[in-house]
């Protein structure tokens, strides 16, 4: 098969049109509170054999491209994750990604075999591919719901970490490795690959940060490329030594994203753009791979039944098993259970048995596709309502905006944009009464569209937007002080109200 310049012209025309349409669709998905992946999947179906007639049935190519896209998405997730915010709930995220995934696999596999009548191999595969949550699906919805950091951190770390063990397990099942090594042997392989991947990620992450701090590249645009290259180098090195590439790329990106590197904002913006492009291509490709004519009423019924088990039995049990001793309330546990959205990851994982020609893999792909679409439509838009009903949504907190970090670390600083909400007790407080840490200051106030440079006696008002400049090492202390004053007013220093309730 050849690919000439005329085919390139057609590819560019169709590809650019689909990409632009997909980008514009993001706005629609945000308005209705639905993950954009559903729109992209439907676009792929519309372009496919039962729509415009584009034929795509290469499962091995879909498998390879799917893994490449997941690596990009995980790299972006690591680069944009704040370790300071995730650290308190990282342990729960790890447990959800390991103990929680194992619990979910067992529950769904047993139900798939005894209730749905699937052969054991397909039942276990169904449990394995549907157990991991999808970061893109979860956070496209959670962006509109202000949640406590421990819930966001748990969901974020879970979504970043749970792909790695499930990829290893699904591969072992599809290639016959589970039968050859047994359950204990397979568990040992999973643990080994995760450990190797984590070590590779740490080494390449810290090594890459050391190099980037000392490299004086001639163009700022080269820094994002170099950082992403280090993350993918971790992926490649880990796979070369039989480790988990997905664990490696996420850990390396997490280290790089939280290091004091030049042009951090530009790097994160570049990573977000590349990740969006990867998501669009991935979801459209998966939609193309579907043949709607194959989907029968029986497949729809099995998908609905499997989704019920996963949503109302497996996910709650996995959260309970992982959260023992975490101190989370029943309201928070309930929200974690409901927020376990599945997205592209389960569908991508089904391309592994498809590429290995596992018996019934086509049926599994159709079942998982229908289940993901139906239950994402049902659960995604309800997350804001469920958060309010369970009373786990919090009022807005100061939003931090990182400044560009110049190559000289000594001038690194952060900019906090703080909006004073109608219920905040910052109203009536003078700038001097904020008593921010030495070195931090309110540099500008935007009030009713007008800007003013504040003095110590300037009084803050509801609706004001503050720009607070702080040395990066004082950012956490500055945010904590702002939240305290927002909750307790000018007497916060003595009242010491609980953190996290300001706005």
List pLDDT tens digits, range 288-340. 888 777 888 888 999 999 999 999 999 999 999 999 888 888 999 999 999 88
Nearest partner of 439 among 485, 408, 473, judged by Cα:
473
Residues 355, 368: contact at Cβ < 8 Å?
Answer: no
Report the half-sphere exposure of 289 (CA within 13 A, side-chain side): 28
pLDDT of 502 higher than 50: no
pLDDT of 256: 94
Contacts of residue 188, Cβ cutoff 8 Å, sequence gap at least 6: 181
Whether the pLDDT of residue 409 is over 50: the answer is: no
Residue 266 has pLDDT above 90, yes or no: no
Q: What is the pLDDT of residues 466-490, one digit of tens each?
A: 888 888 778 778 888 888 888 877 7
pLDDT reading at 6 higher than 70: yes
Gap between the terminal Cα atoms of the chain = 60
The pLDDT value given to residue 231: 95
- DSSP state at residue 462: T
For residue 375, what are the CA distances in angstroms to 165, 167, 207, 371, 433?
23, 22, 42, 6, 50
> What gap in Å lies between CA 37 and CA 51, rounded to an integer?
18
The CATH architecture of the domain made up of 399-495 is 2-Layer Sandwich (3.30)
* Cα distance between residue 109 and residue 309, in whole Å: 10
Q: What are phi and psi of 446, to 5 degrees?
A: -110, 120
* Mean pLDDT of all residues in 50-69: 83
Q: What is the mean pLDDT of residues 167-178?
A: 86
214 or 129: which leads in pLDDT: 129
pLDDT category at 33 given cuts 50, 70, 90 is low
pLDDT band with cut points at 50, 70 and 90 for residue 209? very high
Phi, psi of 418 (to 5 degrees): -120, 120
48-57, 196-205, 257-266: range with highest mean pLDDT: 196-205
Task: Taking residues 388-411, report their average pLDDT.
Answer: 54
Name the more confident of 240 and 88: 240
Reading phi first (left if > 0) and then psi (alpha if -120 to 50, else beta), residue 302 is in alpha
Give how far Cα 145 sits from Cα of 174, 370, 379, Å.
Answer: 38, 26, 14
pTM for this structure? 0.77
Please report which confidence band the pLDDT of residue 1 belongs to, taking 50, 70 and 90 as the band edges. Answer: low
- pLDDT value at residue 503: 39
**What dihedral angle (degrees, nearest 10) is formed by the CA atoms of 206, 209, 210, 214?**
180
- Give the helix, strand, coil percentages of the chain, each rounded to 5: 70, 5, 25
Distance CA(329)–CA(88), nearest Å, equals 16
Residue of 136, 129, 130 lying closest to 40 (CA atoms) = 136
> Distance between CA atoms of 127 and 115, rounded to whole angstroms?
13
Q: Identify the CATH assignment for 5-390 out of 3.30.930.10, 1.20.1530.20, 3.50.50.60, 3.40.50.720.
A: 1.20.1530.20
pLDDT of residue 138: 67
Is 60 exceeded by the pLDDT of residue 413? yes
pLDDT score at 471: 84
Residues 6+ apart with CB under 8 A from 378: none
Do 342 and 372 contact (CB within 8 A), yes or no? yes
Q: What is the pLDDT of residue 403?
A: 36
For residue 440, give Cα distances in angstroms to 249, 426, 437, 482: 35, 17, 6, 11
Task: Give the pLDDT of residue 164.
Answer: 86
- Mean pLDDT lowest for which of 133-142, 143-152, 291-300, 367-376? 133-142
Range with the largest mean pLDDT of 17-26, 274-283, 392-401: 274-283
Q: What is the pLDDT of residue 395?
A: 54
Of the chain, the percentage scoring pLDDT greater than 90 comes to 27
Q: Is the torsion defined by CA of 67, 73, 76, 80 positive or negative?
A: negative
Confidence of residue 206 (pLDDT cuts 50, 70, 90): very high
pLDDT tens digits along 332-377: 999 999 988 787 789 889 999 998 888 888 889 999 999 988 888 7
Place 397 in a pLDDT band, splitting at 50, 70 and 90.
Answer: very low
Provide the CA 486 distance to its chain's centre, in angstroms.
30
- In this predicted structure, what is the pLDDT of residue 433? 87
Mean pLDDT, range 8-30, rounded to an integer: 77
Identify the pLDDT of residue 399. Answer: 45
Give me the pLDDT at residue 311, please.
92
Averaging pLDDT over each range in 149-153, 222-226, 494-498, which range is the top one? 222-226
pLDDT at 182: 75
Using a pLDDT cut of 70, give the percent of the chain over it: 88
Alpha helices by DSSP H, listed for 33-119, are 36-47, 59-79, 83-86, 90-95, 101-114
Question: Which of 282, 283, 75 is closest to 163 using CA atoms?
Answer: 75
Q: How far apart are alpha carbons 47 and 300 in whole angstroms?
A: 22
Over range 195-213, report the average pLDDT: 93
Q: Give mean pLDDT, residues 380-409.
A: 61
* Segments making up each domain of the chain, as ranges: 5-390, 399-495
What is the model's pLDDT at position 9? 83
Strand partners, 416: 400, 468
Q: Do residues 203 and 233 touch, judged by C-beta distance below 8 A? A: no
As a whole number, mean pLDDT of residues 81-99 equals: 87
pLDDT class for 220, splitting at 50, 70, 90? confident
- Highest mean pLDDT pick, 66-75, 181-190, 286-295: 66-75
User: What is the band of 402 on the pLDDT scale with cuts at 50, 70, 90?
Assistant: very low
Average pLDDT of the chain to the nearest whole number: 83
């Amino acid at each position: 098969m050849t690919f000439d310049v005329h085919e390139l012209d057609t590819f560019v025309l169709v590809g650019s049109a689909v990409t632009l349409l997909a980008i514009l669709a993001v706005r629609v998905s945000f308005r209705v509170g639905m993950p954009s992946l559903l729109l992209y999947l439907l676009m792929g179906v519309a372009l496919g054999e039962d729509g415009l007639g584009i034929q795509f049935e290469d499962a091995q190519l879909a498998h390879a491209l799917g893994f490449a896209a997941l690596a990009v998405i995980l790299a972006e997730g690591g680069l944009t994750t704040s370790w300071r915010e995730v650290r308190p709930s990282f342990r729960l995220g790890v447990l959800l990604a390991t103990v929680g995934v194992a619990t979910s696999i067992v529950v769904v596999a047993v139900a798939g075999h005894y209730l749905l009548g699937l052969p054991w191999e397909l039942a276990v595969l169904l449990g394995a591919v549907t157990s991991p949550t999808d970061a893109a699906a979860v956070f496209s919805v959670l962006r509109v719901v202000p949640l406590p950091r421990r819930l966001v951190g748990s969901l974020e770390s879970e979504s970043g970490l749970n792909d790695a063990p499930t990829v290893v397990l699904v591969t072992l099942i599809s290639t016959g490795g589970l039968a050859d090594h047994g359950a204990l042997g397979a568990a040992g392989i999973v643990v080994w690959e995760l450990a190797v991947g984590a070590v590779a990620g740490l080494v390449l992450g810290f090594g890459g940060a050391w190099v980037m701090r000392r490299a004086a590249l001639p163009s700022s645009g080269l820094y994002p490329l170099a950082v992403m290259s280090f993350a993918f180098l971790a992926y490649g090195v880990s796979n070369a030594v039989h480790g988990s590439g997905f664990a490696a790329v996420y850990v390396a990106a997490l280290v790089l994203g939280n290091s004091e590197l030049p042009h951090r904002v530009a790097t994160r913006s570049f990573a977000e753009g590349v990740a969006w492009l990867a998501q669009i291509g991935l979801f459209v490709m998966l939609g193309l791979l579907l043949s709607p004519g194959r989907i029968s009423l029986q497949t729809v019924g099995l998908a609905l039944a499997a989704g019920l088990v996963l949503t109302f039995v497996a996910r709650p049990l996995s959260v309970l098993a992982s959260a023992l001793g975490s101190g989370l309330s029943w309201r928070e546990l309930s929200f974690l259970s409901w927020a376990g959205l599945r997205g592209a990851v389960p569908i991508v994982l089904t391309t592994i048995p498809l590429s290995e020609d596992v018996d019934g893999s086509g049926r599994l792909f159709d079942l998982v596709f229908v289940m993901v679409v139906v239950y994402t439509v049902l659960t995604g838009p309800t997350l804001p309502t469920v958060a309010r009903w369970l009373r786990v949504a919090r009022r807005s907190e100061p939003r931090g905006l990182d400044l560009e970090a110049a190559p000289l670390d000594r001038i690194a600083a952060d900019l906090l944009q703080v909006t004073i909400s109608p219920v905040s007790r910052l109203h009536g407080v003078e700038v001097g009464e904020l008593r921010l840490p030495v070195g931090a200051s309110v540099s500008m106030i935007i009030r009713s569209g007008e800007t003013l440079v504040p003095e110590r006696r300037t009084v803050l008002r509801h609706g004001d937007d503050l720009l607070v400049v702080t040395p990066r090492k004082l950012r956490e202390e500055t945010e904590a002080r702002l939240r305290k004053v927002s909750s307790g007013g000018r007497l916060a220093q003595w009242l010491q109200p609980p953190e996290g309730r300001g706005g």
